[in-house]
Amino acid sequence: MDLSRGVLVTGADGQLGAALCEEFADVPVVALTRADWDVTMPPPAGLPDVDLVLHAAAWTDVDGAEASPQDAAAVNVGGTQHARELGAPLVLFSTDYVFDGSRREPYVESDGPNPLSAYGRTKLQAEAVAGDDAWIVRTSWLYGWTGTNFVRTMLRLGAERDEVAVVDDQRGSPTYTGHLVAAVRQLLDLPRGIWHLSGGGDCTWAELAAAVFEEAGLDCHVRRVTTAELGRPAPRPAYAVLGSERPDAPNLPPWRQGLQECLERICR
């Protein structure tokens, strides 16, 4: 895809937005934070014409969306509508949380969604608003070297405590932003529509926490608990592993390799 006029990144200071800005640094990047454009509002006047919109701005507080579903929808659904109004081809980022987690084998693109949470519902509505003409990238358990994410939280807690309680009955595919953005770049030469892009393999959150401590050399015990014990406001799918049925789908490296690369970047 010709990107000579550049790309526009929304949510540019989020963990995915930051990685996208790096990945596309060889072309002009219009990097917009919430301060530059609150996506609940129509696009500001004077934005340059670009070849592609990478729409990474989103309400990502899964539990908070249960209490404020309309605010979450304003960002996730309204924001996608506004991103579409820019008129350039669109990449929308969506989530494994559009599925209800009742399966025990990876969800593929044609599987029927049935979100359990308000967050999942807003993301599914956002997919509909983005339309068939967008690349809709469903990913899962995303983490990178900036922002608030599970890996960075575990690094902090693992340094402070002897033990952390982590749920061991939700299974998914941790996805490193650095690997996701490289796959998104490949996607631009492939047809639009829904694509599942996640780190290879799967684990539980407790297994991921244990891997973080092992890779980082932290002496912290993982106490394995159930989702019910933790009692978070938003229901989450027990099984949220994404697979692809599309023959050309870019393959991301195994999740443990993503973790190693992320930790190298954080610790260097």
Ligand X SMILES: NC(=O)c1ccc[n+]([C@@H]2O[C@H](COP(=O)([O-])OP(=O)(O)OC[C@H]3O[C@@H](n4cnc5c(N)ncnc54)[C@H](OP(=O)(O)O)[C@@H]3O)[C@@H](O)[C@H]2O)c1
The reply on whether position 142 binds ligand X by CB under 6 A is: yes
The reply on whether position 203 binds ligand X by CB under 6 A is: no
141 or 213: CB nearest ligand X: 141
Any catalytic annotation for residue 107?
Answer: no
d(Cα 179, Cα 261) in Å, to the nearest integer? 9
46 or 221: CB nearest ligand X: 46
Task: Encode 212-251: b = buried (16+ Cβ within 10 Å), e = exposed.
Answer: bbebbeeebebebbeeeeeeeebbbbbbbbbebeeeebbe
Of residues 75-114, those binding ligand X (CB under 6 A): 75, 93, 95
CB distance 159 to 218 below 8 Å = yes
Closest CA to 124 of 82, 69, 77: 77
The reply on whether position 243 binds ligand X by CB under 6 A is: no
The reply on whether position 38 binds ligand X by CB under 6 A is: yes
The reply on whether position 147 binds ligand X by CB under 6 A is: yes
| Nearest distance in Å: CB 46, ligand X | 17
CB distance 82 to 35 below 8 Å = no
Which candidate in 97, 107, 119, 176 is catalytic?
Answer: 119
The reply on whether position 23 binds ligand X by CB under 6 A is: no
CB distance 122 to 69 below 8 Å = yes
d(Cα 124, Cα 95) in Å, to the nearest integer? 8
173 or 210: CB nearest ligand X: 173
Catalytic center residues: 119
Residues lying near ligand X in the complex (CB under 6 A) are found at 11, 13-17, 34, 38-40, 56-60, 75, 93, 95, 123, 139-142, 147
